[in-house]
Every structure is written in structure tokens, then in C-alpha cells.
A = this chain, B = another copy of it.
Amino acid sequence: MSYPKPILTVDIVMLALLGGRLHVALMQRDRAPEAGEWALPGGYIHTNEDVDSEAAARRVLKTKLGFEPRHLEQVITEGNATRDPRGWSVSIVYLALHEEAEMSELAARKGLKLVDVEQTGELAFDHAHLIRLAVGRLRSKASYTTIVGHLLPPVFTIAELFDVYEAVLGREIDRANFRRKVLAFSTLEPVSMRRGAGRPAQAFRLTRDLDYFDRQIA
């Protein structure tokens, strides 16, 4: 007995901060099904060129958008009979993070829509659901890893990092305690000084893509 193979795609939830709130990047579909609807960037695996599913996600972003995210990780795989009108389909969902400035510029240049993750409205397929899963992953990882550092440019100050944490976690944090905790884990490398409106600040960069703290950071 043989069964038809399900449709298999990778879809990417691209997140960035815009004005202190998390936004997701959407593309307007140009073909059926769901033509005209807003959807996550995604595509089929190209078995002749992609070495693995993460490479497929990177290729989709690169070729469709000319984009290389600061951080990319797998979130979940959603597979069922009803999520795509064409039939049984499977999506390997990736989370991509990038800084605000470059993401806005990319969106303007490529016709992407950046929408607040709390107000996506109706989207193609189950993509609103996939976005909720990815945002949940980001929020839960925020408090014990350096993941949200990838929502900033490579070099940033503690104050900027603080703002990102408050935006992602959606609650107020104490500045003084935050600074002490984040510096106690020696995962930030001081690189230069940053001058602004008041006293100059020490600027840092992440020493690795993803570090795990041994306890909660915020």
C-alpha cells in the first residue's frame, strides 16, 4: 500500500522590532492558492542544491529577498490535512531575527509588509498560528539566552539591550539589576564607547550566536 507524499515546505517567521514593538515580515502571494493574501516567506526544498532544511530556509531568504538573517533557528514542524487547500502538507517553520534598520530598508525595497505580531489579522494558510508559535519561542528563550541580542546591530549598549528585553518580554525591568545580571554572565565583550545625549556608554558585542545563562536574566 502506498500513500501520496505530503506537500513539504519551509516557512520563515522574520521578526524585528519597529518602534519598540515586535513585527513580522509578510509577502503578498502572487499565485494560487491564497493568491493576494499576505503570507510568510517560504518555499519548497530544492533537493539538488539544499544540503539540509536550514539551508533551504537560507536559500529562500537569499534568493527571494536578498536577505541573510542575523539569527536563524528551527521552531516547529506543523503537518496536517487541513492547513493547505491542496491537501496534506508539512511546514518546517524557522524563526529569523534581524535589526530594525536593515529590516525596514529591506521591507521597503522588496514590498514586504511589517505588521505588529499582536495584530496580524487574517493571513494565508495557518501562518497567523505559526507566527504565534515563533513569537512564543522567542519570548520564552529571551529570559535565559542571549537570543534577543540579534534584534540589535552587532554592536550595542546595555541600554539598547535593556529596551529590547522590555519590548520582547512585555514588562518593566529594573535597569540597575538588569545591567549587573547581564554583565555577570561574561558573554558580552566590550568593544568601544558610544556617545549620545548624556554620559557616554560602553558598547558591547555578542561573543557567540547563542549563549545560555545559568539562570534567568530578567
Q: B74 touching A76 by the CB < 8 A rule?
A: yes
Residues of B within 8 A of A69 (CB): none
A69 to B103, CA, bound (A): 44
State the copy count for this chain: 2
Interface size on A, as a range, is 20 to 34
Q: B81 touching A47 by the CB < 8 A rule?
A: yes
Which A27-57 residues sit within 8 Å CB-CB of chain B? Answer: 44-48, 50-53, 56
- Cβ of A121 < 8 Å from any Cβ of B? no
Give 10 A-B pairs besides A5-B7, A52-B80 with Cβ atoms closer than 8 angstroms: A6-B47, A8-B90, A45-B79, A45-B88, A50-B88, A51-B80, A52-B81, A53-B78, A77-B92, A79-B92
16 sampled A-B residue pairs with Cβ under 8 A: A3-B45, A6-B47, A45-B79, A45-B88, A47-B87, A47-B88, A50-B88, A51-B81, A52-B79, A52-B80, A53-B77, A53-B79, A56-B79, A74-B77, A90-B90, A90-B92
Q: A residues near B, CB below 8 A?
A: 3-8, 44-48, 50-53, 56, 74, 76-82, 87-88, 90, 92
